[in-house]
Amino acid sequence: MQFKTIIDPFRIKSVEPVQFTTREERAAALERVHYNLFGLQSQEVLIDMLTDSGTGAMSKQQWAGMMLGDESYAGSTSYQKFEDTVKSITGFKHVIPTHQGRAAERILFSNIAGKGDVVPSNNHFDTTRANIEFMGAEARDLVIDEGRQPQLIHPFKGNMDPAKLRQTIREVGAENIPIVMLTITNNSGGGQPVSMANIREISGICREAGIPFFLDACRFAENAWFIKTREEGYAHKTPGEIAYEMFSYADGCTMSAKKDGLANIGGFIALNDDHLAVECRNLLILTEGFPTYGGMAGYDMEAVAQGLCEALDPHYLQYRERTVAYLAEKVTAAGIPIVQPPGGHALFIDAKALLPHIPAQQYPAQALTIALYLEGGIRSVEIGSVMFGKVHDDGSETPAAMELVRLAFPRRVYTQSHIDYVAEALEHISEVRDRLRGVKITWQPPFLRHFTAQFAPL
Ligand SMILES: *Cc1c(COP(=O)(O)O)cnc(C)c1O
Instruction: Determine whether the shortest distance from the Cβ of 253 to ligand 1 is under 6 A.
Output: no
What are the residue ranges spanned by the domains of the chain?
23-52+313-457, 60-310
Distance 437 CA to ligand 1 centre (A): 33
Cis preceding-peptide flag for 446 (omega within 30 of 0): no
Residue of 415, 326, 282 lying closest to 9 (CA atoms):
415
Distance 125 CA to ligand 1 centre (A): 7
Distance 338 CA to ligand 1 centre (A): 23
Instruction: Determine whether the shortest distance from the Cβ of 125 to ligand 1 is under 6 A.
Output: yes
Instruction: Determine whether the shortest distance from the Cβ of 98 to ligand 1 is under 6 A.
Output: no
Please classify residue 202 by burial: count the beta carbons closer than 10 Å to its beta carbon, then call 0-12 exposed, 13-18 middle and 19+ buried: buried
Residue of 233, 294, 281 lying closest to 101 (CA atoms):
294
Instruction: Determine whether the shortest distance from the Cβ of 259 to ligand 1 is under 6 A.
Output: yes
60-310: CATH topology: Aspartate Aminotransferase; domain 2 (3.40.640)
Distance CA 63, CA 329 (A): 34
**DSSP states of 69-121 as a string?**
----SSS-HHHHHHHHHHHHHH--SEEEEESSHHHHHHHHHHHH--TT-EEEE
The count of other CB atoms within 10 Å of the CB of residue 162 is 15
Distance 259 CA to ligand 1 centre (A): 8
Instruction: Determine whether the shortest distance from the Cβ of 216 to ligand 1 is under 6 A.
Output: yes
Please give the number of the atom of ligand 1 that sits closest to the Cα of 53.
1
Distance 15 CA to ligand 1 centre (A): 27
Distance 360 CA to ligand 1 centre (A): 28
Instruction: Determine whether the shortest distance from the Cβ of 267 to ligand 1 is under 6 A.
Output: yes
Please give the number of the atom of ligand 1 that sits closest to the Cα of 267.
7
CB 160 within 8 A of CB 121: yes
191-236 confidence digits (pLDDT tens): 899 999 999 999 999 999 999 999 999 999 999 999 999 999 999 9
CB 184 within 8 A of CB 220: yes
Distance CA 271, CA 108 (A): 10
Ligand 1 pocket mutation, candidates 50, 55, 102, 287, criterion most atoms within 8 A of CB? 102
Q: What is the pLDDT of residue 402?
A: 87
Distance 217 CA to ligand 1 centre (A): 9
Distance CA 208, CA 322 (A): 39
Instruction: Determine whether the shortest distance from the Cβ of 100 to ligand 1 is under 6 A.
Output: yes
Please give the number of the atom of ligand 1 that sits closest to the Cα of 103.
9
Reported pTM = 0.95
Instruction: Determine whether the shortest distance from the Cβ of 157 to ligand 1 is under 6 A.
Output: no
Ligand 1 pocket mutation, candidates 129, 216, 218, 304, criterion most atoms within 8 A of CB? 218
Class of domain 23-52+313-457: alpha beta
Q: Where are the beta strands (DSSP E) in 244-403?
A: 252-256, 267-271, 346-350, 378-379, 381-383, 390-391, 397-398
DSSP state of 176: G
Strand-pair category, 378-379 with 47-48: parallel
Name the residue at shortest CA distance from atom 5 of ligand 1. 101
CB 150 within 8 A of CB 343: no
Residue of 96, 141, 307 lying closest to 220 (CA atoms):
307
CA distances 319 to 9, 226, 322, Å, are: 7, 13, 5
- How far does the chain reach from its first CA to its final CA, in angstroms? 56
Helix (H, G, I), strand (E, B) or coil at 439: strand
Instruction: Determine whether the shortest distance from the Cβ of 101 to ligand 1 is under 6 A.
Output: yes
The packing angle between helices 274-287 and 101-112, to 10°, is 120
Q: What is the pLDDT of residue 388?
A: 84
Q: What is the pLDDT of residue 1?
A: 83
Beta-bridge mates of residue 406: 348, 381
Please give the number of the atom of ligand 1 that sits closest to the Cα of 104.
9
Please give the number of the atom of ligand 1 that sits closest to the Cα of 256.
7
Residues in the chain with pLDDT values less than 50: none
CB 40 within 8 A of CB 379: yes
Helix boundaries (H) for 113-238: 126-134, 162-172, 196-209, 220-230
Distance CA 90, CA 240 (A): 9
